[in-house]
Structure 1
Amino acid sequence: MNNIKKLRILVIAEAANPEWTSVPLLGWSFTNALSQHFDVHLATQQRNKSAIERFGWNEGAEFTSIDTEAINKPFYQLGKLLRGGTSLGWTIATAVASFTYPYFEYLCWKKFKGELLKGNYDIVHRITPVSPTAPSYLAKKLKKIGVPFVVGPLNGGVAWPDEFDELRKKEKEWLTKVRNFYKFLPGYTALRRDASAIICGSIATQNEMPSSAAGKLFYLPENGIDTERFSKVSSSGFNYPIKAVFIGRLVPYKGADMAIQAMKGLLQQGKMTYDIYGNGPEEENLKSLVKREGLEQYVTVHGFVPHELLQSKLLESDILVFPSIREFGGGVVLEAMATGIVPVVVDYAGPTELVNESSGYKVAISDRTQLIRNLENTLEEIASNPERLALKRAECLRRIQQHYTWQAKVDQINEVYMWTLGQGLKPKFTTNSFS
């Protein structure tokens, strides 16, 4: 990667915050990783300024903050109203953001147009938003002046499993029925037509792209591992009780309640415990379920855990039981694998692209009753053969180091950059590449 320092990258990441979680942390982690090897300047939303400065970056030198709050605030309030003041209805929040986001890119164009015309940047890379519904104002502008525009990772568009339509309603995801409306937004076609490269974070997103864009698509799961934050590996000997953990938002589709039902017998036999970390509208329901089933001795709903403490909680565990039935990425799955915690996931969408049969367990998706039964069978297999977890732990660690550290991500992105600039063959990343 001797040529990596020569590249000047303008990173567009509206959401990029080292102190937050989810997409803002992804945007920041990706940007920070790129900055270790490229000459990077970040354009981000004003709300991220203080956190980035606390990290040690200087506005004007390493980053520029763009203030769009005048437009964002009323739309945010609209989205909050449509979501009933809850954290449910994620598609609604994404849709509302898709209407306001082009203004951010418009202001970026006004700010950086002069530098771009002078050739001060080799590539513009838009990292966030990750939603494929977000249109682009910049795509057409950059193509016109001959500056390569890399977009992604984009991830989304995972269909609700037919077997869980009632859960979709409980999640207030009524907008998914008319989700394709985003294709009529200004900038939707331009992004797919005028971007130089489009990185898809999942097979579902890649399959939604038009055939006309096929020649510039790249498959790369979006999440990566910070090896400084996740630097330790569990030394558990997988003795009884096997310590299972769940980390994530406590919302219906994450399935923590199904996990409790599935492991009830093993819990009562003293062969397993379950620690649940996270908060959300299902927290009280989960506590009630645990009390109703008389499982207080074996299951603990801890509430929210700060991200900086996540590693310590994982190190106390043996397996991650994460039966989410509609997960786009599954960053927590990689974080578990990085600490040697063996994941148990539903064989659907994002997590199943991160886990293979050698590094974890995939549970066949079905209706709720059958899925609980399938999960129960898998957990009983684990409890009956705990010695197999050691081999899977070793494979988890190998996969993380080979494919999912931020250094590995930068190597992969460098290949995309080189191809975009006409300096290399087109790399082909597939699910088989991550075996």
Structure 2
Amino acid sequence: MSTATPRPKVLAIAEAANPEWVSVPLVGWSLAQALREVADVHLVTQIRNRDAILRAGLIEGRDFTVIDSEAFAAPLWALAERLRMGEGKGWTMVQAINAISYPWFERLVWKRFGPAIRRGAYDIVHRITPLSPTISSSLAGKCARAGVPFVLGPLNGGVPWPRGFDAERRREKEWLSYLRGAYKALPGRRATLRHASAILAGSRHTASEIPADFADKVIYLPENGIDPARFALQAAPEGPVLRAAFVGRLVPYKGPDMLIEAAAPLLRDGRMTLDLIGDGPMMPQLRAMADGLPGVTFHGWVDHRDVQRILAQSHVLSFPSIREFGGGVVLEAMALGVVPLIVDYAGPGELVQPGLGHKVPCGTRAEIVQGFGATLAKLAVDPAALAPTAAAARARVKSHFTWSRKAAQIAQVYDWLGQDTAAPAPRFFEDRSAELAENGCGSATGCRQLSSKVT
């Protein structure tokens, strides 16, 4: 933002914002904190995050406010845990239950901050989380009536299951995902989009789900970022053997079984090692698959702060996930200088541009296994040749994907809303819808992208 422009006063609403957790809560926390570099931010979050935020050094009342919605949220969360039919499964069910409980949180937020918003105490209200595009916001209309711009997002989620993976879909207990599209007809959705002043879309697919009526205020902004203090190491793999790693829950859609199958010939020949970081219901199956294969190490669950220590010993992040919304682990690997090898679909496919890693087309299970096997075999010929790609990936993250850069991007949006200038998005993404539809991998449409000064 220009030094001559006053810092906007922003009420940042992030129901999930926690510096000690991962996934959505860490995104909510990291983005809200980064925005303090470009705006005067007051964070509003759920009471479950209070202790962690206090430990991070923020002062309650001055820097943040907690909303106690547990009387409604806690029993519904317990219900969701029962209905999802297994730990880590049924995420669509969890989002559906959250769509029921979240409006109560916003009602309490308005009760607490509505008077201040109406009298102009804040220049912008920015709802950061939930990230799900299926959850409407009553605050959007209330802010519009008060004359205060309302920013929504980054929104991300709902990437379709690729064709040929229905078995994995059922194993993930994703029965409700077959009906997910019904959210578009729910009361409040169009009103939320109509009243929002800017809509940040975290992926092409999410942008494609927003009606064309509101396309002029949709801005592309990938949801994930990197904290350089958390990922400060630089990869230094040793020896002439290709060292690969997998990081994630051991569940069907992330494809660890496909990876072991693809890597088996190289492992048997001693041309590759494989570190699997994570735990989950597939662990017994994966151990059985790896029985007798040298060079495979199962690390189990590892604290997020220690993941980089193991990952930095690798040449390649080998990550055949077929349904990844944001792809945070891909950015983390790139930040360390570990070259990503991914399926060209959804979040990872958008992050890994030419020269930054390797992509296998999104196809059938057999095609992905074959593609990963062939690519790993090529890389194993001379792992040291990956060094330029690793350096380019690391530089890309530093220049584009730190949380500070995210804050600078969003500052452009705030300036746009506050000064009635041209939208900070003169360029459009190429339309890959035909290509993606041919592969059974969803669709994409053009959406606004922030200018090259900060993207």
TM-score (norm 2): 0.92
CA deviations 1:7-60 (Å, max 9, x no partner) are: 111000000000000000010000111113311000000000000000011111
Give the match for residue 236 of structure 2. Answer: 235
Judge conservation of contact 2:141–2:195 (CA < 8 Å) in 1: yes
Residue 333 of structure 1 corresponds to 330
Distance (whole Å) between structure 2 residues aligned to residue 103 and residue 183 of structure 1: 20
Unaligned 5+ segments in structure 2 are 431-448
Indicate if the aligned counterparts of 2:154 and 2:202 stay in contact, CA closer than 8 A. Answer: yes
Please state whether the residue corresponding to 1:357 is helix, strand or coil. coil
1:174 is aligned to: 175
CA contact (8 A) 2:46 2:68 kept: yes
1:154-303 to 2 correspondences below 5 Å: 154-236=155-237, 239-291=239-291, 294-295=292-293, 297-303=294-300
Cα distance, 1:351 vs. partner?
A: 0.2
Partner of 1:386: 383
1:4–1:414 contact (8 Å) kept in structure 2: no
C-alpha distance in 1 between matches for 2:78 and 2:335: 38
**Match of 2:301, as an amino acid?**
F
Q: Which protein has greater RCO, CA pairs closer than 8 Å, 6+ apart?
A: 2
| 8 A Cα contact 2:237 2:243, kept in partner | no
- Encode CA deviations 1:186-237: one digit per residue, 9 max, x unaligned: 3212211110000000000000000111010001111001011112211336
Give 1:423 deviation, angstroms: 4.5
TM-score for the superposition, normalised by structure 1 = 0.96
- CA drift at 1:316: 1.4
C-alpha separation between the residues in 2 aligned to 1:425 and 1:408? Answer: 21
Alpha-carbon distance, 1:319 to partner: 0.6
AA matched with 1:218: I
Shift in alpha-carbon separation, 1:316–1:431, aligned structure 2, 3 A: farther
Tell me, in whole angstroms, the C-alpha distance in 1 between the residues paired with 2:407 and 2:41: 13
Following TM superposition, by how much is the alpha carbon of 1:398 offset from its aligned partner in structure 2, in angstroms?
Answer: 1.9
Aligned equivalent of 2:42: 41
Do the aligned residues in 2 keep the contact of 1:87 with 1:281 (CA within 8 Å)? no
The CA distance in 2 between the partners of 1:4 and 1:105, in whole Å, is 30
> 1:3: Cα distance to partner?
4.9
Question: Post-superposition shift, 1:430?
Answer: 5.2
1:205 to 1:105, Cα distance in 2 relative to 1, 3 A = same
Shift of 1:422: 2.9
**SS of residue paired to 2:97:** helix
Pair 1:305 & 2:302 matched: yes
Query: What is the CA–CA distance in structure 1 between the aligned matches of 2:351 and 2:138, rounded to whole Å?
Result: 32
Secondary structure of 1:161 counterpart: coil
Q: 1:248: how far off?
A: 1.1
Alpha-carbon distance between aligned partners in 2 of 1:378 and 1:89, rounded to the nearest angstrom: 32
Q: Deviations over 1:348-404 (max 9, x none)?
A: 111010001201000112111121011111111111242431110111012112210
Aligned residues: 431
Compare 145-154 and 369-378 and name the one that shifted more.
369-378
Identity among equivalent positions (%) equals 49
* Alpha-carbon shift at residue 425 of structure 1 (Å): 2.4
- AA of the residue aligned to 2:286: L
Tell me, in whole angstroms, the C-alpha distance in 2 between the residues paired with 1:225 and 1:318: 20
Quick one: distance in 2 between partners of 1:362 and 1:5? Answer: 44
What residue in structure 1 maps to residue 439 of structure 2? none
Report Cα offsets for 1:396-424 as digits up to 9, x if no partner.
01211221011111111011111122353
Q: Paired residue for 1:344, among 341, 350, 363?
A: 341
Moved more, 175-184 or 121-130: 175-184
Which blocks of at least 5 consecutive residues in structure 1 are unaligned?
none
* Separation (CA, whole Å) in 2 of partners of 1:217 and 1:121: 22
Which residue of the partner structure matches residue 133 of structure 2? 132
